[in-house]
Structure 1
Amino acid sequence: MNRFLKLPLLFDPDELLKDLRACETMEWSRHFHTDDYSGLWSGLALRSASGKADDIYSHPGSAGYIDTPVLGLCPYIASILGLFECEIESTRLLRLAPGAHIKEHRDVHTGYQFDVFRVHIPIETSTQVRFLVGGHALDMREGECWYADFSQPHSVENCGATARTNLILDCKRNDWSDTLFRQVGYDFAAEARSSRLDRATRTMVIAQLSEMKTDTAERLIKQLEAEADIDE
């Protein structure tokens, strides 16, 4: 049930597109996970850990995120950020070119149960974009706002003739977001039941978190190791 949720926020597609067009002449960086996709997948940072527009790595849990100069070109997107009553970490425009394919993978740190959440706001898309999360199709339209648990296996394929560009926000969970998620049916009881991982999955998650070297990752590692001690 918590695989993905349409949040009760709707934005003006024309204003989003206007901001996007203001960024078209800038240099977009190829996505850093080069083994995870074929074709062209590129991005531009509006907020990043370094304050640089070409720093499209999400750096989850890093202390301090800075607006990049690109955000100054996007007044409507800046107003959207002001509506989120929680800490916003990275903010990116990510574009998947026609014919490009993001292979199935997991982002183990990006689920609400990890106290962080990633939302997608499509700016340009089509019915030919195939987005799967946990084996289920996620159909997003321009201006909508969606949460998905990207710690589950997910993939995207752009089978259309035009680019798919989404605004993507990484946010920290708080009381405001709990209220928002409760409004759209997030199952907090299911979250509690599924919070305990099996031994193999726990080992895999700890290994991936160890590579991140952030305060949030260290906290999650300690939590998982404590669960392992209880289970044993």
Structure 2
Amino acid sequence: MRTQYVSTIPLDGPRLAKDLEQSSTFRYSEAYSNYLIGGPWKSAVLWSAGGDSGDGLLTNYAYDQEFAFTEYGKQLPYLQELITTVADLSRLNFVRLAVFSKSVIVPHRDFLELGEIPDDARSAHRLHIPLVTNDECFFSEDNTVYRMRTGEVWYFDAAQVHSVASFSSEPRIHLIFDFVERPGAGPLVTLDDRREEGGGIPADRTVRRAPLPDADRTNLLRLADVLTMDNFGEIFSIVVKTHFRYDGGEQFAWDTMTAIARGSKDPAVLEHTLELRQYFTLERSE
């Protein structure tokens, strides 16, 4: 299902604040933080197979068990209510409370590592509801950069190459829902005022970026002169951040990082870059 804005729901500020205060006592997983430069990306599993909070890695759950709220989900009455009101529970695999700030996530595709899970149990659709966010938090899909606003409900096409950035030290907190595919089933959400499927990313959520100046592109490529395995993350972060501020064209981040790596004096850097690109965008096993 393509990325699209679905609806906006009113959030109860005091009840949400109480739940988020309680969630600060949780032991968050840092699973998938290898996708970040900066970070970490932390999550607490609120709904899962067997009601197991687990380690946060989606491959490490017993999918043959009944799905239910975890010990963490049971401590958050307002978020429980929100989840059960919004989602089709018969298709719901996971709900995670995800916290992220002052970092970038490398362009990647999700669900690649779930191939061994049976079709009728494997997560195939994703939904986001931002609970706390700010204007310095961005998503991108291919070459489109956009924002999700607080209380908005979004279908999110995690199978497409996407990235996320936070330029703020303030935490961005989302509810992330994963659903199983069910041919012929109804909508994933039960909202009466949801938009028709296929609406896409609204123009007023899209970030208009100036084209990347030629001089800046040239300067990025000159980073090859200093790129080593020791500073690989820092330089890749510069490239990804540039993607969110300027329009460098399709596949800008990976193409640019690959070009920089080709110019590095250390041949291990290019090999590492190509391996990462394969892992994050083409084929992956956990």
Measured against aligned partners, the alpha-carbon deviations of 1:138-184 in whole angstroms (never above 9, x if no partner) come to 31111111111111111111101301110111113442217979x63
Matched AA of 1:177? P
Aligned positions, number: 189
Determine the C-alpha separation between the residues in 2 that align with 1:165 and 1:179: 20
More strand by share: 1
2:21 corresponding residue in structure 1:
21
Q: CA deviation at 1:80?
A: 2.1
Runs of 4+ in 1 over 6 A off after TM superposition: 178-181
Higher RCO, 1 vs 2 (CA within 8 Å, ≥6 residues apart): 1
| 1:129-140 paired onto structure 2 within 5 Å | 129-140=137-148
Q: Is the 8 A contact 2:46 2:94 kept in 1?
A: yes
SS at match of 1:21: helix
* Correspondence list, 1:53-72, <5 A: 53-59=53-59, 62-64=63-65, 65-72=67-74
| Partner residue, 2:196 | 185
Counterparts of residues 4-153 of structure 1 (less than 5 Å): 4-8=3-7, 10-12=9-11, 14=13, 15-30=15-30, 32-38=31-37, 39-49=39-49, 51-59=51-59, 62-64=63-65, 65-83=67-85, 84-85=87-88, 86-97=90-101, 99-108=102-111, 116-153=124-161
Any unmatched runs of 5+ in structure 1?
A: 188-203, 213-232
State percent identity of aligned pairs: 24
Report the secondary structure of 1:72's partner residue.
helix
Q: Normalised by the size of structure 1, how large is the TM-score?
A: 0.69
Aligned partner (choices 160, 175, 180) of residue 168 of structure 2: 160
Query: Displacement of 1:87 after TM fit?
Result: 1.8
Shift of 1:88: 0.9
Residue deviations 1:41-99 (CA, integer Å, cap 9, x gap): 111111233533343223499333332111111112111222223421111111112x2
Measured in 1, the distance between the counterparts of 2:97 and 2:76 equals 11
SS at match of 2:80: helix
Gaps of 5+ in 2: 115-121, 199-279
Asked if the contact 2:93–2:123 (Cα under 8 Å) also holds between the matched residues in 1, the reply is no
Distance 1:61 1:128, change over 3 A: farther
